[in-house]
Chains A and B, each alone.
Chain A
Amino acid sequence: MAVLLSDLRPVYVVGIGLHRFQRATDTSFVDLGLTAVRAALDDAGVPWPEVETAYTGSTRLGMAVSRPLLRHLGVTGIAMTQVENASASGSSAFRLAVRDVAAGFADVAMAIGVDKAAPGLRAETLTGISPLDEGLTTPPVHFALLAEEYLRSRGAGAEDMARVALKNHNNAADNPFAHRQQRRTLEEILADRPIAGALTRLECCPVGEGAAAVVVVSEEGMRRLGIDPARAVRVLSSAQQSEQLYGTRSYDAELTGATTQQALTEAGVSVTDVDIVELHDAFAIEELQYLETMGICAEGAAPSCLRDGEFAIGGRVAVSPSGGLLAMGHPIGPTGVGQIAEITRQLRGEAGVRQQPDARLGLAHLVGLGAVCVVHVLAAPA
């Protein structure tokens, strides 16, 4: 029988660092990445030579991204691996770092995400299969179609979806690392440039550049490096699944439900105990769908719960207090690591004006093209 993360050594996030997610600039990816890595090492109080392995999530920088970035910290000869899993690249990089520490292959590991805005090449376009909808179903069109079905079948309106963007833009306005930091009104979001169906530009995530990094350690690593356990956030579970055949049901939502269920079960917690959720809200409709399939609220209840403030900071469960992909931004490689940074900040009680009161349990979720889904559950220091 396969082991679970909880059967292995406890793993803790002890350092987080970010470079702001932002629109494309001339900044080298090396500067973006080093800013995040140095911030994470400083936050952990861990000198670089103590790091035993590094995983770097990246999608549009080509091959072999780790060493051109990490050599400037002083070469140490450690194992370095680039991880590509579309939108979930950073989440998968984190998962691998966590598993290395849990299994005892390392006491100190780093997960990094770094990316620049550039066209990405998708293997799906190289299969030789000509889809009927060649060039037609871009991601906004795909999610606009899901939105149309969702809103119609639940008797909900465009304003119910726009409230997702409203909450997340206004959360990001207080996040210095967010791509979009402007406060918005519901009217502004609804009246913004139409993209597809009911989706406006402000209900679609910005894809720019940025970086994020986290340090994960074992208890032995924590003792050896003199790290304060009062700021150490435990990783309770790590689940990763890929798409199955779901007929006409939304594969993103079905896959999210199954992967989240696995992550919660393996963490030994109930969905009702979750205080913070960071999820894949690349398009506003996703938040409504996923909160339902995750079991955070009942089927069909997401629009009314959102309207009642249940998902706001200070509500029943804070959803995307960082601003989410919609407003913190989606530089792709860094996105998943950025979620772990936000949840760690929240569970340490260090999120300032964005702090969810008494946050004890956080859940990070990303879907990547393919589709793949990665979910982590993290717990506050004891």
Chain B
Amino acid sequence: MSPPVPPSRKTLLHLYAATLRASRGFSSYNFRNYFLARTKDAFRGIQNESDPAKLSSFYHAAVEELAVLKRSAIVNSLYGGWKLVVEKDKIERTRGVN
């Protein structure tokens, strides 16, 4: 078996940005915050990793998860999106209502 080719730093950063974007796509407050925090933890956790095998397996797992998150965020925004009382202040009111 040939050693796995580790992803470049640029590839990882791209994936990081894409995963953050997918996490922001959740309309439910709790899911959105959870996946944002989790993504940050995971990618910061491998920032200083140099083992190519670990980097490459992390990369593959993260790519798979990104696909899951993208789909989940769509489903969530279709059926979710109720505001919680903690985000009540942030509700944007459009002009003309009340």
A and B found bound together: no
A interface, CB within 8 angstroms of B: none
